[in-house]
Chains A and B, each alone.
Chain A
C-alpha cells in the first residue's frame, strides 16, 4: 500500500519489556542508528536491580527511552510519542507516561489471561476500551518472529528470543532509521554463531518489512538532522566518557594511572572500560573490598601514579577513612562517585544526587576536599580531566559526583582534538627545598607552593628526599609529628585554604539569562542541567523571564557565586535530594535559596520544572 511520510522535529520513543526481552540492547541499537543520522538525542535506560526479576511482573520491567530531534536536545524527554510494550507488565507500568493520542505498539502474543492476571488486569486492555485515547497497534510480535524464522534450525524458544530484533526492525522502518549499523553490530556480535546471526538479521528484516507492508502503519516518519557545530561526533554514555576522560588524563599527563576499585552498580562499567586500555599505562585492580580499592589507589599515588577509585554512595561510606588519610597526607587521589538512590543499598539502578553532603563532610575531623560534577553524559569526559587536574596540581583527593542517569544515559558527543586537550603534566620534587639548623640542605615534605599551597610530590626512589608521612598531625613545613595546639589549628586552616585556592583556577559562574531582566534564578548542579535548561526554554517560549546557572565546582564554589545569587529576587535550587546544595548556598551566602526536591529515582521532567519556575514567576510578580 502507499505510505505517506511525515516530517517530525522531535520524537520520544520508549521500549519496554521484561528484563530478559533485550530492551536495553534494542534501545542501544536504535540510538546508534539515530545518532548516525545526525539527530541530536538523549537517552534514559531504566532497569531493575535484579538481573532477572520474576518474568512478567511489574518490578521486572526494563525500559529504554530515547528523545531525538532536528534541534538541540537536553533531556530524554517527558512523555513518549510511542511506546513499545512487549508484555502486559510493560504496558501497565509505562502507559501513564505516554502522550495523550500517542501510539502504543503492543505484543499481543504475551497478553494471555495468566499474564494479564499476574499484573492485575481484570480484562484485556486491547479488547476493552481502556486504550481509547491512544493509537493502538496490536501486533503479534512473538509469533510473527517465530514465523519469520521457521526456516532456521532453531528451537521455538530461541526463535522467540529474536522478537526484540523484530521490534527494532519495525521501529527502524517507522522512523526511517538506517540499518547498516545494526547489521554490522549483529555481524560482529555473532561472528562465531552464524545461525544466531542470520536469525537475528532475518527477524530485524521481517520487522522492517512488516512496517512497510501492513496497513496498520500508514505513516512513516522522518526526523531531519539537527543543526550542531561542525565536527566529528559519536554517541557516548556518562560512564564511557568518564573512563575516556581518565585515559586522556593519563596520556596528557604522561603519568601512569592506577584504578583500585570494587564492583558496584552503577559504577562497574568504568572498571570494565579502563581494564581494556592497558596500552596507555593504566593498571586496573579489582580489590577485595571498597577500602582496599581506595587504599591501593592512594598507595599508587604515593608512588607517583594517578590513583583513582570508582564507586557509588555505599562505597564512599567505606572509603571515607582513606579519603581522610589522603587529605592528611596531601596526595593526589581521584574518587569517582556514580550516585544512586540511598540510604544504604537503596535503589542501586536508579539515579539520585544525595551524596553531595557526604562528599563535602563525610569524614572525621576537618577534611575539606574539592568536588566537581559533570552536567551531561559527554561532559563526564571533561569533568574527569578536571578532577585529575585539581588532584595532581593541589595534591588532594577530589570527589567527582556523577549519577546513575548520567552513567547510563547517552548523547552525541563532539570528539575533541586529543592534541588540544589540556596538558596535565606535573613536576615531582627532585631536590632538597630547605636548610637545617646547620645550613645543610634538607627536604621538607610539607613546605608549600606559594600560589597553590600544595606540598611537593616527592615519590619514593628520589635520592636525598627520604621522608615519612602519615595520618598523625604534622608540623607545617618539616612534616615531623606535631601535637602542638597552634600548629594543628594552623594546619587545619591551611588544608582548607589550599582547597579554597582551587577557585583561582576555575572560571566564574556563568548565568544564562537571554533577556538580562530575569528576577528568578534557577541554580543546579550535576545531571539536572538538561531538565533545568529545557524548562527554562519552555518558560521563555511562553514569555517568561528566567535565569539559569549551573555549578560544575561544588567545592570551592566559583568566586562570583555569592554575587550571582544576590542579584536575583528569587533563587530556586532543584535537586534530586532533600535540599543539599540549597543548604550549602544558604549557609555560605545567607540567601533565601528555595529548594525544589524530589527523590523518585528518576530525573526531573522539563514540564515539572517549567511549572515550578512559572509558580515562582507568579509569586515574584505578585
Chain B
C-alpha cells in the first residue's frame, strides 16, 4: 500500500514515506514516566496515532520541547527530538525550521513554559509565522515543581505558593495568540481523542505557526480543572464546538447559540429567543481576527462556562521560513558562492598591491 500525499502546504518540502507508518513506529524505547492518570498519556497516544496520516518520513519529524512535565514528550517519540531549556523551545525550533524546510517541526510546551518564562519567544514566533506546530499543554498549574500557580491559573487560586489565593490575573492562551498575530489558533481537550486528532491534523496542514492549546488534566496538583467540560452532565451546556462555516450552537438539545449583537459584542443566547439566521456562523478564515478574539473571551475564567473549542483562526500568510528562503534564493540566483566569489569579497573595492 502506498501513502496518499495530502498536499499540506506546511509539508510541501518534507519527504514522504514509501511505506505507511503505524502508531507503534512512533513509540521510542523509553519508559514513559508521567504520573499514572496524567492527561499527557492521552495526548501522546493521539499524536502517535495521528502522525502516520501525514505520510511524511519519520526521520523528517522533529519534536522540540522546553522544561516541564509536557516537555518530556520528545523522549517518548521515535523521531528526532530535543528536550531543551525552560521557555526557549520556540526560539530553538525557529533556527531549525528556517534552515531546514525538509523537516516537520513541532514544539511541545506547557502553560508555564510557553506563557511565563517563554512568553516572549512564543509571541514572536507567532507573529513571524515560523512554520512550527506548537502544542501547548495547559493544565493551569506547575506540575514538575510540585504545584505552584501558573499564568493560566484562575485568580484566587490556592496553591503551595499562594496559600491565601493567587493575585495574578490569568492569560487566555487563545486570546494571547490571536493578539500576537497568530495565523492558526485552536483549542482542544486531552480526553477527546477524535477532536484532538482533527485539530492536530488541521494544525499540521497549516503553513506557518499553529498554536494548539490542549486542556490537559494534572491529576496530582490540579485534578478536575476541566471537569466542567468533560463530565457528560455539564459539558453539553458549557462546551462550544466551533466548526468552520457552521452556525455556532451548543447545549444538550442544541438549545443555545452565539450571536453578534448590534453593538458588536458576542454573546450566548437561547435559540428560542432568536432566528436561526441570527446565529453567528463561524468563519475560521476571516482575515480580521476580531470575531475569533471575541469568541476567545466568551469563556468564564473560573467556571469555564461557554468555552469554545476547535479552530478559532486559520488564515494564510506566507511563513517566515518561506520568505527567508526566498531572500536566500534571490541572492543566490545572482551567481556563485565559491572561492572566486569569496576572493572578490575579501579584496573589496579599495585594495592595493605591494610588490618587491
Using a CB–CB distance below 8 Å, which chain A residues touch chain B? Answer: 32, 35-36, 38, 181, 225, 228-235, 244, 247-248, 251, 256, 258, 260, 277-281, 283, 285, 287-289, 291-293, 295-305, 307, 321-322, 325, 329, 415-419, 460-472, 480-481
Contacts and interface: CB of A to CB of B under 8 A. Distances in A.
10 A-B pairs closest in CB distance:
A470-B83, A299-B95, A295-B91, A296-B95, A278-B331, A460-B80, A300-B95, A292-B91, A299-B92, A299-B96
20 contacts: A35-B352, A231-B354, A256-B99, A285-B94, A285-B98, A295-B84, A299-B93, A301-B95, A303-B100, A303-B103, A419-B339, A463-B57, A466-B58, A466-B79, A467-B80, A468-B28, A468-B77, A470-B75, A470-B84, A481-B75
Contact of A470 (B28, B82, B343): B82
Contact of A468 (B81, B94, B331): B81
Contacts of A418: 339-340, 342-343, 346
B337 A251 contact: yes
Given A258-B98, A295-B92, A461-B15, 20 more contacts: A233-B351, A233-B352, A233-B353, A279-B335, A281-B332, A281-B337, A287-B91, A288-B120, A302-B95, A303-B103, A307-B95, A461-B102, A467-B80, A467-B81, A468-B77, A469-B82, A470-B75, A470-B83, A480-B30, A481-B75
A293 B94 CA distance: 10
Nearest to A32: B350
Given A234-B348, A278-B331, A466 B80 contact: yes
A463 B346 contact: no
B346 A258 contact: no
Interface in B288-342: 324, 327-328, 330-332, 334-335, 337-342
B84 A460 contact: no
Contacts of A304: 99-100
Contacts of A471: 67, 83-85
Contacts of A461: 15, 59-60, 80, 100, 102-103
Contacts of B57: 463
Given A291-B91, A300-B95, A472 B124 contact: no
Interface string B1-38: 00000000000000100000000000010100000000
B96 A295 contact: no
Contacts of A251: 337-339, 341-342
A470 B94 contact: no
B354 A464 contact: no
A385 to B, nearest CB: 12
B95 A297 contact: yes
Contact of B75 (A301, A325, A468): A468
Contacts of B98: 258, 283, 285, 296, 300
B356 interface: yes
A32 B98 CA distance: 39
Contact of B59 (A32, A232, A258, A464): A464
Contacts of A299: 64, 91-97
Contacts of A419: 339, 343
Contacts of B341: 251, 279-280
Interface centre among B80, B99, B330 (most CB of A within 10 A): B99
B59 A463 contact: yes
B99 A230 contact: no
Interface residues of B, number: 63
* SS of A interface (majority): mixed
Contacts of A307: 95
Given A248-B342, A280-B341, A461-B103, A230 B96 contact: no
B350 A35 contact: yes
Given A292-B124, A300-B98, A468-B81, A277 B351 contact: no
Given A279-B341, A418-B339, A296 B351 contact: no
A234 B91 contact: no
B92 A417 contact: no
Given A233-B354, A292-B94, A417 B343 contact: yes
Given A38-B352, A322-B88, A415-B351, A465 B95 contact: no
Contacts of B103: 303, 460-461
A298 B124 contact: no
A36 B350 CA distance: 8
A247 B83 contact: no
Nearest to A460: B80
A68 B351 CA distance: 17
B164 interface: no
A296 B91 contact: yes
A279 B342 contact: no
Contacts of A281: 328, 332, 337
B311 to A, nearest CB: 26
A244 B343 CA distance: 10
A476 B92 CA distance: 24
A278 B354 contact: no
A298 B99 CA distance: 11
Contacts of A416: 346
Given A460-B59, A471-B84, A258 B95 contact: yes
A325 B64 CA distance: 13
B95 A260 contact: yes
Max chain A C-beta neighbours (<10 A), residue from B62, B64, B342 = B342
Q: Give the residue among B95, B96, B331 with the most A Cβ atoms within 10 A.
A: B95
Contacts of B331: 278-279
A468 B352 contact: no
A181 B30 CA distance: 66
Given A279-B337, A460-B103, A291 B60 contact: no
Contacts of B355: 230
Contacts of A466: 58-59, 78-80
Contacts of B265: none
Nearest to A420: B339
B87 to A, nearest CB: 8
B345 interface: yes
B96 A302 contact: yes
A231 B92 contact: no
Contact of B99 (A248, A258, A295, A472): A258
A281 B329 CA distance: 9
User: Looking at B64, B74, B100, which has the most chain A CB atoms within 10 Å of its CB?
Assistant: B100
A214 B350 CA distance: 32
Nearest to A282: B328
Interface in B49-87: 57-60, 62, 64, 67, 74-75, 77-85
Contacts of B67: 471
A117 B99 CA distance: 58
B350 A181 contact: yes
A283 B59 contact: no
B201 interface: no
Given A292-B94, A299-B93, A283 B328 contact: yes
Nearest to A302: B96
B263 interface: no
Interface string B91-127: 1111111111011000000000000000011001000
B121 A302 contact: no
A35 to B, nearest CB: 7
A244 B95 contact: no
A292 B59 contact: no
Nearest to B336: A279
Contact of B352 (A232, A287, A291, A472): A232
A290 B252 CA distance: 51
B253 interface: no
Nearest to A236: B348
B256 to A, nearest CB: 41
Contacts of B231: none
Given A231-B353, A279-B341, A244 B346 contact: yes
